[in-house]
Structure 1
Amino acid sequence: MNDYKIGKPAFSITLLHPKYWGVWFGFGLLAAIVNLLPYSVSLSLGRALGKMGMKIGKKRVHIARRNLQLAFPEMSSHDIEAMVAENFKNTGAALIESGITWFWPTWRFRRILIEKDISALRKHAENHKGVLLCAVHALNLEICARGFAVLGLPGYGVYRPHSNPAYEFIQYRGRTRNGNQLVYRRDLKQMIRVLRKGERLFYLPDQDYGHNKSVFVPFFAVEEACTTTGTSLIAYPSKCALVPVSGFRTAQGKYEIMADISIEDDYPQKDMSAAAAYLNKYIEMIIMRAPEQWMWLHKRFKSLPDGTNNSRYQ
């Protein structure tokens, strides 16, 4: 066993305690839905749940709307409202997509994938070079991660274990299908070791993680968006490649797995502000492949350079 991966949680009889029955029932129901219903029906069910969620998630509706207003000031209010509605539908679909990722057999999962272009990853794999997979918080991120593994390019996910042991037991197995592995999200040394070993590490630098280890650089139309410097902290000592990756759902219900460019040659690793701004341009490019499938419900622009939070959402 590689000593830099999280150990697989073991099953014990305590996981059958009545206090965990709700978790087992919920995931059992999800597994039944995605395996027994036709794919199109289960996906439509998820989208319907997302639409219903708009009625009870008014705060999240406001956040998504405000994010879009800040990111795309030229977008009309009509288009923003349409984007918010579609984003919520895709948020509901994400539940179904997680169930598909965790509970579908590989032969069935492979049928919904389109290998769009993953030439950059295959090249680095042949040369045994570590790759930082620069991904985004797409609502179908679970499918994207397993998709690369099914296509023969598994990686390590940056991971926070769940506090509920029954949930964690199921979640771990769901996220380590087809050879994927996990490392703790705060263990920077282990991430670097993974990359130095020539492995692939999924990393998501697209959200506002607060002022610690961050800089303020442009992101879409926001000139001072709080952006993590974690990419530089990982990439520089590991001497890894940087490859933007995505796996968005098409109108036909397939998922385009894409990793077509390697951007490390021009990445200004020693200048963290320049590096963050440079990578944000590629993050924008990924999001714009299917902006309605990105997590606009998160307060992407909550932090301000003066140390305050959330004033952009008031």
Structure 2
Amino acid sequence: MTSNNDNPSRETAGKQPSSGNSDRKFDRSFRKEYLHPRFIPVWILLGIAGILAFVPPVIRDLAADFLYRPLMRLPFKQKKIVRVNLRLCFPDSTEEELDRITADFFRVGLKVVLGYGEAFFRSQSYLRKTYMVTGEEHFREALSLGKPVIFMAPHAWAIDHAGLFLSASGLTMCTMMHTSRNPVYDWFMNSMRLKFGGKVYERGAGLKSIVRALRDGYHSFFLPDQDLGTANSIFVRFFAEEKCTLTVMPRLARMADAVVVPMFSCYNEEHHKYEVVFDRYFEGYPSGDLEADVRRMNAAIEKLVTGREKQYMWFLKFFKTRRDDRGVY
């Protein structure tokens, strides 16, 4: 979810970001504290990810095709969350249809997870060869408008590859991240996201940091679909269910005079590549009607997910906040 400041695209040439640093921006420098013994389990996992990064994708995918079935038999809470989300969103689907989506979901997820180390351990030239694009004309049209672009990307298994594609394309990018309890994990994830440069802010930096960056020539990668509670959210339909939905995106677009482009990141099992899908930018957005603008955002996500259900992160608690305070998970 990052950028390459040294290779701007034609659309961004002549409008380069300033070099000033903003508060609470991630620093990718390695720290000696990361070598503390308590982080040994994380380093072991990163070592495995590094080895798998150099295994051909076809072989990794064959392994995932074999492994996902026994893994699905294990008792873990994410399976229940997936099923609850699918039932709420697709109430007319049969149990067999939901079983198929669930199985496809875990199979694709395992393929992405097994290849996760590629973005960190492989070269920039290698990564550029792992992408395929659908709807590139929408991508180029939005950039040609000469405004900062907010790439609205719903959560997907391959979400980080969508951001990497944007920065690998020469765009100057910024985004926000949620700091975890493990600094080694944060260092790994954000070093990967900064493979081509750019800025990653901590969530606590606030919306103003992103607005400043957009006004300074950056584009933004924004994930609007998590349920973060009622603050800065309203209840709006999402598929067949009402969802507590963030109102940040239309506000951000208005404050930065930015264009919103829906996009989705997929793992293409046939080609063993990451497919980045773009839809046409929102015209007349925001409209001034907050509820209508938020519903339009949700409708755009529904359009991207439909037919690609196995790619969406159904294990997230999208319906955690309810009007009646009764939990569904």
TM-score by length of structure 1 reads 0.89
Provide the rounded CA distance (Å) in 1 between the counterparts of 2:226 and 2:68.
22
Aligned mate of 1:140, from 143, 151, 158: 158
Of structures 1 and 2, the one with the larger relative CO (CA 8 A, separation 6+) is 2
Aligned mate of 1:232, from 222, 225, 250: 250
1:203 matches 2:230:
no
What's the counterpart of residue 80 of structure 1?
A: 98
Provide the rounded CA distance (Å) in 1 between the counterparts of 2:104 and 2:27.
36
Pairing 1:139-158 to 2, within 5 Å after superposition = 139-158=157-176
Provide the rounded CA distance (Å) in 1 between the counterparts of 2:76 and 2:51.
30
1:212 matches 2:206:
no
Aligned mate of 1:103, from 86, 96, 121: 121
What per-residue deviation string (whole Å, max 9, x for no partner) do you get for residues 134-161 of structure 1? 0010111111211222222352121123
Provide the rounded CA distance (Å) in 2 between the counterparts of 1:263 and 1:274.
13
Query: What is the CA RMSD across the aligned residues, in angstroms?
Result: 2.2
Offset at residue 39 of structure 1 (A): 1.2
Provide the rounded CA distance (Å) in 1 between the counterparts of 2:199 and 2:140.
19
Give 3-state SS (helix, strand or coil) of 1:152's partner: coil
What's the counterpart of residue 9 of structure 2?
A: none
Worse-superposed segment, 288-297 or 258-267: 258-267
Q: Is the Cα–Cα contact under 8 Å of residues 46 and 94 in structure 1 kept in the other structure?
A: no
Offset at residue 290 of structure 1 (A): 1.1
What per-residue deviation string (whole Å, max 9, x for no partner) do you get for residues 249-305 of structure 1? 22322222233411042442x322111111111011111241111011122222222
1:276 matches 2:298:
no
What's the counterpart of residue 88 of structure 2?
A: 70
Q: Which runs of 5+ in 1 are unaligned?
A: none
What's the counterpart of residue 323 of structure 2?
A: 305
Offset at residue 227 of structure 1 (A): 0.9
Instruction: Name the amino acid aligned to 1:181.
Output: K
Q: Is the Cα–Cα contact under 8 Å of residues 98 and 142 in structure 1 kept in the other structure?
A: no
Offset at residue 129 of structure 1 (A): 1.4
Offset at residue 56 of structure 1 (A): 2.9
Instruction: Name the amino acid aligned to 1:185.
Output: R
Aligned mate of 1:185, from 203, 224, 230: 203
Number of paired residues? Answer: 308
What per-residue deviation string (whole Å, max 9, x for no partner) do you get for residues 2-31 of structure 1? 323724242233322222222222101111
Give 3-state SS (helix, strand or coil) of 2:315's partner: coil
What's the counterpart of residue 240 of structure 2?
A: 221
Aligned-pair identity in percent equals 26
Give 3-state SS (helix, strand or coil) of 2:301's partner: helix
CA pair 238-80 structure 1, distance change in 2 beyond 3 A: same
What per-residue deviation string (whole Å, max 9, x for no partner) do you get for residues 91-149 of structure 1? 22232242222222122222221132333443444554111110010111111211222
Provide the rounded CA distance (Å) in 1 between the counterparts of 2:37 and 2:279.
48
Give 3-state SS (helix, strand or coil) of 1:265's partner: coil
Q: Is the Cα–Cα contact under 8 Å of residues 238 and 302 in structure 2 kept in the other structure?
A: yes
Give 3-state SS (helix, strand or coil) of 2:134's partner: strand
1:247 matches 2:247:
no
What per-residue deviation string (whole Å, max 9, x for no partner) do you get for residues 182-223 of structure 1? 12223111011122223211111122221221111111111x
1:194 matches 2:213:
yes
Offset at residue 48 of structure 1 (A): 4.9
What's the counterpart of residue 79 of structure 2?
A: 61
Provide the rounded CA distance (Å) in 2 between the counterparts of 1:15 and 1:257.
33
TM-score by length of structure 2 reads 0.86
CA pair 194-62 structure 1, distance change in 2 beyond 3 A: same
Q: Is the Cα–Cα contact under 8 Å of residues 208 and 302 in structure 1 kept in the other structure?
A: yes
Give 3-state SS (helix, strand or coil) of 1:173's partner: helix
What's the counterpart of residue 15 of structure 2?
A: none
CA pair 79-260 structure 1, distance change in 2 beyond 3 A: closer
What's the counterpart of residue 6 of structure 2?
A: none
Provide the rounded CA distance (Å) in 2 between the counterparts of 1:180 and 1:96.
26
What's the counterpart of residue 8 of structure 1?
A: 27
CA pair 10-243 structure 1, distance change in 2 beyond 3 A: same
Provide the rounded CA distance (Å) in 1 between the counterparts of 2:36 and 2:275.
41
Worse-superposed segment, 165-174 or 76-85: 165-174
